[in-house]
Chain A
Amino acid sequence: MRTIIRQRSIFNHLADIEANEHNMIGIRELTYRIGKKELLHNLSFEVKSGELLAVLGANGAGKSTLMKLLCREINPTSGQIYLRGCDLQSYKLPELAKQRAVLSQQNTISISFLVHELVMMGRYPHFDQYPAEADVVIVKQVMVETGITHLSGRDYNTLSGGEQQRVQLARVLAQIYDCKDACLFLDEPTNGLDLRYQQQVMELARSLADRGYCVICILHDINFASRFADKILMLKEGRKVAMGTPVEVINCENIHETFSINVKLMPCEGYSCPLVIPATSNIN
């Protein structure tokens, strides 16, 4: 009996390795529990490099918990997370930092730093005490890409919420800028940004995915998700409602299941996926 189990586990292990070779991130039967409360239940999915995955879900659906597990801020109760086919736990922290960057939701800093100092912090995993020439070049580059060059000499704490968000994005981008197939996790990156910058941030995320990055992004706006993401994962109470391309998953049933609201879908010229707008009677 024991031999059979062992053989099976070896077989499973080999299958895991094979399956994960092509995936940047693999999630297997992931469950996270605090006490008796189950925040994530038996979640499995894969993300390839070059893909942008949008995670949708109501408040408390487990999106942020999933993000924390992916970042290794917390450890799963059961199940595994694979990065490039290796268990996330097997990575050393500095090693992980060179191939995975995270934009968190809350970014208050305790001590006033200048914007360019803060962006340079993104390069910390790459140098010992003081930055090399290449790090300085990358910092300048990401500041151009995120449109914050003019804020370079400003004190971070005097910036507006939207500006702070862009500075943090620049820092996160700097961290993995020269690793061409790194992972980028964005927790509601459009928070606090006006329409123009929301779009700019999502376009940036899209272009990073096109460059080969693996981008996982928590979003609230369904239309943004279907416009920019390759795949959408819909979560409800820690369980997967649906996952697939926007065309596959964006429908009234899934949205009703996920958010408990009624919506209308409106086909739009030039877009493969219909627009989602609230239905007249919304509360169910």
Chain B
Amino acid sequence: MNKKTGLTLLFLLLLMVAVMVLSSCIGAVKISLAELLAILSNQSGLTDHTGFKSQQAAVLLNIRLPRVMLGMLIGAGLGISGAGIQGLFRNPLAEPGLIGISSGATLFAVLMIVMEIIIFKKLTGILGFYALSLAAFVGACLTTVIVYRLSMRNGKTIITTLLLSGIAINALAGAFTGLLTYLANDEQLRTITFWSLGSLGGASWETVMGILPFILIPVLGLPFLSKSLNALALGDAQALHMGVDVVMVKRIIMVLATIAVGASVAVAGVIGFIGLIIPHILRMTFSADHRLVIPGSALLGAALLSLADLLARTIVVPAELPIGILTALIGTPVFLYIIITERNKTKI
């Protein structure tokens, strides 16, 4: 591995671990670093029950750790699919949300909640969770395929059409979601609000284990396509000339990104802007090389989403802010900044 890329990734990994420790320690029940280590070593059977309170251990192991884990997984999934999709569409402004993946997933999840589909009701626990994930996933796939098909012509993606179809699909999915919200009863309404604003409040070891494969496959798989994505940045024809099977690479990226985003929306609702800004931060600070941006987006995404969740649950204690609000609050100015610099970047 290239030394510079290796060091950068190591730095991002350390950052992620630091955020992980910080998020585990801070909260309504405070846990010091020493106590954290004591609980963990006690849990793994290395030491006795000393140096911490039982309540702290209970909070850490049953509430905080799964939540931190979930935040990491979702952040990694959203970050890496954002990087993949931006590379795929050859457009730094593409984002899972912008091209309708998230709204499609939300629509199908809301459909499941409101229609209370019989299979979903019967399946509880892990299976029930997978059913909801599956619905969100199907919704994500469907919108992706529609938007992708609409924006393709002669094997090339037309960016304007892509963004316009994304907007159209978003509006359509939004309208249907609105209709379903109108039909929903009070209890369903609260669940729907959770979807549309996004929250890691539903975290448990069950959800963590449920989402794990959906995130792990893209996070481990996408880095193998980094070189092809670099070639794709030069153009479809150019990538083909360099021996890249463009159609196949595009398909794989689409599927992997959709898996990650679909699963993320299924457990935590729509968390915007992570997929958009993470790859940009990496490109602006380090390098545009996908061999750094792809794995780096997973690491930085994990770190930043956990950090955002830490803020979301500590800023208005004892209540908590939906994380979607927080990422949008931070994300929108960054998004605008990107648009403005893109506009001002005149080609000589």
- Residue numbers of A with Cβ under 8 A of B are 68, 71-73, 93-98, 100-102, 104, 106-114, 117-118, 121-122, 124-125, 129-130, 157-160, 175
Contacts and interface: CB of A to CB of B under 8 A. Distances in A.
Nearest to A122: B242
A157 B233 contact: no
Contacts of B347: 157-158
A117 B289 contact: yes
B233 A104 contact: no
B243 interface: yes
A39 to B, nearest CB: 14
A107 B234 contact: yes
Contact of A112 (B242, B244, B288): B288
A113 B92 CA distance: 13
Contact of A111 (B1, B92, B226, B345): B92
Interface of B: 1-2, 87, 90-92, 226-227, 230-231, 233-235, 237-238, 240-245, 283, 287-289, 291, 345, 347-348
22 contacts: A73-B240, A93-B245, A95-B243, A97-B242, A102-B238, A104-B241, A109-B233, A110-B233, A112-B283, A112-B288, A113-B233, A114-B287, A117-B289, A121-B230, A122-B242, A124-B227, A125-B242, A129-B227, A157-B347, A158-B348, A159-B348, A175-B242
A213 to B, nearest CB: 16
A215 B295 CA distance: 39
Give the one of A73, A101, A114, A118 with max B CB within 10 A: A73
A122 B91 CA distance: 22
A160 B235 contact: no
A81 B204 CA distance: 60
Given A71-B240, A72-B240, A158-B347, 9 more contacts: A93-B245, A107-B235, A109-B235, A111-B90, A118-B234, A122-B242, A124-B230, A124-B242, A130-B2
Give the one of B238, B240, B241 with max A CB within 10 A: B241
Contacts of A129: 1, 226-227, 291
A72 B240 CA distance: 9
Contact of B243 (A68, A113, A117, A125): A125
B92 to A, nearest CB: 7
A33 to B, nearest CB: 15
Contacts of A110: 90-92, 233
A93 B235 contact: no
B203 to A, nearest CB: 35
B318 to A, nearest CB: 44
A107 B236 CA distance: 11
A121 B240 contact: no
Contacts of B231: 121, 124
A97 B241 CA distance: 6
Which 10 A/B pairs are nearest by Cβ-Cβ distance?
Answer: A97-B243, A110-B90, A94-B243, A102-B241, A125-B243, A111-B233, A111-B288, A93-B243, A110-B233, A124-B242
A224 to B, nearest CB: 24
A124 B230 CA distance: 10
Give the one of A94, A106, A109, A118 with max B CB within 10 A: A109
A97 B347 CA distance: 30
B152 to A, nearest CB: 15
B232 to A, nearest CB: 8
B258 to A, nearest CB: 21
Contacts of B91: 110
Contacts of B245: 93
A159 B281 CA distance: 23
A25 to B, nearest CB: 16
B288 A71 contact: no
B348 A121 contact: no
A33 B192 CA distance: 53
B243 A121 contact: no
A200 to B, nearest CB: 21
Nearest to B1: A130
Given A73-B240, A94-B243, A97-B241, A113 B235 contact: no
Contacts of A112: 283, 288
